[in-house]
Structure 1
């Protein structure tokens, strides 16, 4: 089975064309070799897919005849992606949300003044006794 079709069948990509594009960009490696979408895969092959800034490592157990349900993907693949890769993605998400909530866009004039005021160095004030 073609590698793009396999990744689509085991629900790693939503569409087959997305899997094909990932292969063309070099985000898919089979046995540590960059491959075209038309490359055939076999049981015991290992696939590395770069998706959402995470390298997913997949070992093929068996080839499905057609696209399978999400609960049945474990019959055909073993996911060997390290857990810390997902933790780093989670931390990146939290660090982005810390600065500014999603959807608020650019700072307003008021926000800009508050930022400038916060970043401004404190002036030497004379204390009157």
Structure 2
């Protein structure tokens, strides 16, 4: 009797199927793990149409999702739903970044605003003297 291999068939959800916010963020590759996505939602780092959301929020195409990370802030429009994490090219089909978000990210990259307080690793905290110089330079006396 020949052996048959049974593999679990993973497919994208049908139009009727629902998709939780934390699963969608993970599937769209904004976060490495679903638990990191859930923690970001709980911490208020993810907003849907300007309002705070919960992990179990039902996602629908057309929603605007704003995601704040330590490195970036991005606003996207949901185009499709998925509960399955796939490769980056397929994940990019789940959303479209807004023009305003692209412009702001480009502007931050050009001005170096995203690297404002960056320090070389291992240097530790600034000394008292360095803090006074920083405060004087930034105008926060």
What is the CA–CA distance in structure 2 between the aligned matches of 1:107 and 1:61, rounded to whole Å? 45
- Bigger radius of gyration among the two: 1
Look up the match of 2:51.
33
Aligned 8 A contact 2:71 2:114 in 1: no
In the alignment, does 2:105 pair up with 1:85? yes
- Post-superposition offset of 1:25: 1.0
TM-score, length of structure 1 as denominator length: 0.69
Aligned 8 A contact 2:63 2:77 in 1: yes
What is the CA–CA distance in structure 2 between the aligned matches of 1:69 and 1:49, rounded to whole Å? 20
The unaligned stretches of length 5 or more in structure 2 are: 1-18, 131-141
Of 44, 50, 67, which residue of structure 2 is paired with 1:49? 67
The unaligned stretches of length 5 or more in structure 1 are: 116-129
Number of corresponding residues: 108
Q: Aligned pair in 2 of structure 1 residues 95, 50: CA closer, same or farther (>3 Å)?
A: closer
TM-score, length of structure 2 as denominator length: 0.64
Of 84, 94, 110, which residue of structure 2 is paired with 1:66? 84
